[in-house]
A and B are shown apart, each in its own frame.
Chain A
Amino acid sequence: MPDPMDDLDQRLSRALHAMQDVPPFPREAADRIAARAILASSPQARAGAWTRRLAAAVVLMAAGAAVVTAARRTAVVQRSELAMAGARAVGGAPVLPAAGAPLLPVSAGGARPIIFELDAPDARSVQVLGDFNHWSRDATAMERSADGRWRITTLLPPGRYIYAYLVDGHRFERDPARDAVEDRDFGVTGSELVVGEAP
């Protein structure tokens, strides 16, 4: 007659083996969790109220500069749109993406060209992450220009997007020229970008 304790031990062993099994975890979900963690542990997220107070003061002091920056940013987008339409930008060469320049992989249905640009001359790497690429680390590397600005061109369909820059792989920065908004789907805070319908 079999020993019931042996049977119990075998069943317990099998149960523990079963408890050790885990399925693989989806990479996209891992990217989202990692992005939240990186964003939440960034100095900006931790500085809390002090940062917000300080930022308010800085914003007041730098209001003039911000206006200039925003104007330049708008000009870049407009030049890009003109370039993609085959026209020449006002006062300069077409801003067509250079051959081999990285393009974010997004749907091109009715999309408009958008240039993301960040002035970070001391950065070693800059990526742009947003809901348009599921805050993924893939295909988001920006290229450094000689003037120290980091750029990437992408096609985005009309809509509202939230994005942030990842500098040197660990520091999230919102676009200083745009309002901070929360991406509820991904639980992160970034900057808002609205892409309108083509004229």
Chain B
Amino acid sequence: MPLSRPHVTVSRPPRTSAPADVLALRARDGDPGAFSALVELMQPRATRFALQMTGAARDDVDDIVQDAWIRTHRALPRYDASRSFESWFFTILANCCRSLRVRLRRLQLRAQPMDDQLRDESIDALMATTTRSDVARVFRALATLPAAQRETFLLHHVEGFSYEEIAVISGVGVSACKMRAKRAMDAVRELLREDDPDA
């Protein structure tokens, strides 16, 4: 069966950047309530992204996201309102995730395997789903991908960013983003097919 057929059509999540942008401007002007509301709005997505990007233990993931918020608050005076806050924040968060991976490599520590994560109740809480086994397979597939492909896949198919936004977040060209996304999707489909008990 050919695998190069047209790929999965995924309706990306609706963007809610307008409220985040408004809150970010208020936070930039010194409103701590607006900053807290930003955390409330973005924290679940930030945690999900960091979990899936790093495969780290939950405590480490919480530290990564907290660090991202510290850097975000520190950089708020330089927030450019012409850019969506979500994409700006995810640029900072993605950098934090990359830093952790580098740190883990330097310490020769292994991140928690994805399978272990799936048994973690905190992950269960993040997933309201009846297709948990397929989600687990996607997790396993994502864990085998190069980090750059995994990042692009998650940002596009899960977080709903456009390739143009991902290009800015990841610091690469739009073409490279599209190529990474295609390779990631090919790999995920192939691994899902191999991992399919009914196949």
Contact = CB atoms under 8 A, between A and B. Distances in A.
Interface of A: 4-5, 8-9, 11-27, 29-31, 33-38, 40-41, 46, 124, 127, 137, 166, 168-170
Contacts of A22: 44-45, 48, 126
Closest 3 CB pairs of A and B: A18-B129, A169-B30, A30-B40
Contacts of A23: 44, 125-126, 128
Given A20-B160, A25-B44, 18 more contacts: A8-B192, A9-B9, A12-B8, A16-B158, A17-B11, A18-B135, A20-B158, A22-B48, A27-B40, A30-B36, A33-B43, A33-B69, A34-B39, A35-B36, A46-B74, A127-B32, A166-B32, A169-B32
A15 B135 contact: yes
Contacts of B8: 9, 12-13, 16
Given A12-B189, A37-B69, A38-B73, A17 B36 contact: no
B149 interface: no
Nearest to B72: A37
Nearest to A37: B69
Chain A interface SS verdict (over half) = helix
A12 B192 contact: yes
Contacts of B10: 13, 16-17
A4 B192 CA distance: 12
A38 B196 contact: no
Contacts, number: 134
Contact of B43 (A8, A12, A30): A30
Nearest to A166: B32
Interface string B27-68: 000111101111111011100100010000000000001100
Interface in B1-19: 1, 5, 7-13
25 contacts: A12-B188, A13-B8, A13-B9, A15-B135, A15-B138, A16-B8, A17-B11, A18-B128, A19-B48, A19-B135, A19-B138, A22-B48, A24-B40, A30-B37, A31-B36, A33-B36, A33-B43, A34-B36, A34-B38, A37-B39, A41-B71, A41-B74, A124-B30, A137-B32, A169-B31
Contacts of A33: 36, 39, 43, 65-66, 69
A46 B69 CA distance: 15
A175 to B, nearest CB: 19
Nearest to B36: A34
Contacts of A4: 1, 199
A20 B128 CA distance: 9
